[in-house]
Amino acid sequence: MDAIDVIVTKRDGRELSAEQIDWVVDAYTRGVVADEQMSSLAMAILLNGMNRREIAGWTQAMIRSGARMDWSALPGRTTDKHSTGGVGDKITLPLAPLVAACGGYVPQLSGRGLGHTGGTLDKLESIPGWRASLSNDEMLDVLGRAGAVVCAAGEGLAPADRKLYALRDVTGTVESIPLIASSIMSKKIAEGTGALVLDVKVGSGAFMKTVDRARELATTMVELGTDAGVRTVALLTAMDRPLGRTVGNALEVAESVEVLAGGGPADVVELTVRLAREMLDAAGLSGGKDPERALQDGSAMDVWRRMISAQGGDPDARLPRAAETLEVTAASSGVLTRLDAYGVGLAAWRLGAGRERKEDPVSFGAGVVLHAGLGDRVREGQPLMTLHTDEASRFERALAALDGAYVVGEHAGPDPLPLVIDRVTA
């Protein structure tokens, strides 16, 4: 087998054989196939696509490149969620303890943020003492004690994807549905969950800008999960506007705690409860406690506190706050007809909530707090949002990101996307 044959097969629009896929993924992981050869193949895949058999083979080859986790020692069923990422998407924080409070075990391996969308680990690291890196034994221990664990994926999980994703990032080959689907699902299948709910975001603040592309990605991932024996369901959800009222690490933790205390913004509560029901249903656990009740009776909050403490965090500690704030007010009275997720996400990132390069630190207190939602009536001079940062010099570029991202009109605008747009099953 040689790399040029594999590249030319895909370049000419032909199907890769199972042997070609197994060989090229393994040889690339071992360093036998060079980065320039893999980037050429990734571009050929982006341009010519892969069919269901090829995508499944590619995913399995990436899973085989590393370890596979095993939760059979737990006394119950595992179920997990993956979101393709969005602005203000803090749902994992209330969702993992909520599902555990209703009888599921949630082994959630998460990532850090890059670009305008935040990462779950960055959010949780704003809690003093909380530790993202756990050994497999520690994960099992936290899962056993709390019912849910959120931590960093170890180096051993799908190393082929780790290497390939870094390469795609710098070669213009991220936006291929077969490559995105196999990248996400190789990690989720290797994580060993029995059931999986995918939250595929659609809109300006998401990877997928249109419902059609999001549906294609969701369908591909649901097929991959199902073929691998994981009960998989996907929801397409709105990311044309931010989720909830906060964007930024510690700000989003505070909002998540409000949800766990039985309050919080309606959209965050609705999506958390909907995803919890889907996760429980996919795991065959829907006969237990209802998620809405577990938010009201304090049981989800109890799990949160156990989960955070088990990873060294202090659930009662004061969260970091940014040193500087700036209010953005309405220039006229009317209706908030536009509140663009990408613009708000970019502003939060420029305030210091996100990172430019993988090795950059994030500012835990930085971000945006929204005081009005899409469709709300506002008066001239009323605060629309507050910007938070540690360095006042960042305000100017954050305000530039918000230019055109929000509009106060005289009349209500067109209806926004529904929060849950569609559901995709096998």
Indicate which residues carry an active-site annotation.
82, 161, 168, 183, 187
Which range in 89-97, 175-183, 263-271, 346-354 contacts ligand URA by CB under 6 A? Answer: 175-183
Which range in 95-103, 178-186, 320-328, 383-391 contacts ligand URA by CB under 6 A? Answer: 178-186
- Cα separation, 277 vs 197, in Å, equals 10
**By C-beta, is 43 or 260 nearer to ligand URA?**
43
Give the shortest CB-84-to-ligand URA separation in angstroms: 7
**By C-beta, is 172 or 418 nearer to ligand URA?**
172
**By C-beta, is 223 or 258 nearer to ligand URA?**
223
Which range in 176-184, 298-306, 351-359, 368-376 contacts ligand URA by CB under 6 A? Answer: 176-184
Q: Total residues at the site for ligand URA (CB under 6 A)?
A: 6
- Cα separation, 272 vs 75, in Å, equals 25
Which range in 150-158, 172-180, 283-291, 319-327 contacts ligand URA by CB under 6 A? Answer: 172-180
- Cα separation, 28 vs 85, in Å, equals 28
Give the shortest CB-218-to-ligand URA separation in angstroms: 13
Residue 25 interacts with ligand URA (CB under 6 A): yes or no = no
Residue 42 interacts with ligand URA (CB under 6 A): yes or no = no
Give the containing element (helix H, strand E) for 48.
helix 35-48
- Cα separation, 354 vs 362, in Å, equals 6
How far does Cα 192 stand from its chain's mean position?
18
**By C-beta, is 217 or 374 nearer to ligand URA?**
217
Q: Which of 305, 298, 267, 273 is nearest to 99 (CA)?
A: 273
- Cα separation, 231 vs 225, in Å, equals 7
**By C-beta, is 60 or 299 nearer to ligand URA?**
60
Residue 183 interacts with ligand URA (CB under 6 A): yes or no = yes
Give the shortest CB-165-to-ligand URA separation in angstroms: 5
Contacts of 197 (CB under 8 A, 6+ apart): 79, 80, 81, 82, 232, 233, 234, 235, 275, 278, 279, 282
Give the shortest CB-161-to-ligand URA separation in angstroms: 7
Residue 238 interacts with ligand URA (CB under 6 A): yes or no = no
**By C-beta, is 174 or 211 nearer to ligand URA?**
174
Give the shortest CB-282-to-ligand URA separation in angstroms: 20
How is 399-416 classified by DSSP, letter by letter? Answer: HHHHTTTEEEESS--SPP
Q: Tell me the Ramachandran region of residue 76: left when phi exceeds 0, alpha when psi lies from -120 to 50, beta otherwise.
A: beta
Q: Which of 217, 211, 268, 218 is nearest to 240 (CA)?
A: 211
**By C-beta, is 180 or 250 nearer to ligand URA?**
180
Burial of 131 (0-12, 13-18, 19+ CB in 10 A): middle
- Cα separation, 241 vs 264, in Å, equals 17
Q: Which of 156, 93, 159 is nearest to 122 (CA)?
A: 93
CA distances for 410 relative to 330, 332, 415, angstroms? 12, 9, 15
Is the Cβ–Cβ distance between 164 and 246 less than 8 Å? no
Residue 71 interacts with ligand URA (CB under 6 A): yes or no = no
Return the DSSP state at 222. H
Give the shortest CB-403-to-ligand URA separation in angstroms: 28
Q: How many Cβ atoms are within 10 Å of 199's Cβ, its own excluded?
A: 25
Which range in 177-185, 291-299, 380-388, 401-409 contacts ligand URA by CB under 6 A? Answer: 177-185
Give the shortest CB-187-to-ligand URA separation in angstroms: 6
CA dihedral 404, 406, 412, 416 (to 10 degrees): 100
One of 165, 292, 302, 416 touching ligand URA (CB under 6 A): 165
Give the shortest CB-183-to-ligand URA separation in angstroms: 3
Give the shortest CB-306-to-ligand URA separation in angstroms: 28
Q: Give residue number: closest CB to ligand URA.
A: 183
Q: Which of 150, 170, 157, 148 is nearest to 358 (CA)?
A: 170
Which range in 102-110, 174-182, 192-200, 284-292 contacts ligand URA by CB under 6 A? Answer: 174-182
**By C-beta, is 168 or 305 nearer to ligand URA?**
168
One of 124, 158, 184, 195 touching ligand URA (CB under 6 A): 184
- Cα separation, 40 vs 171, in Å, equals 9
Which residues here bind ligand URA, judged by CB under 6 A? 165, 174, 179-180, 183-184
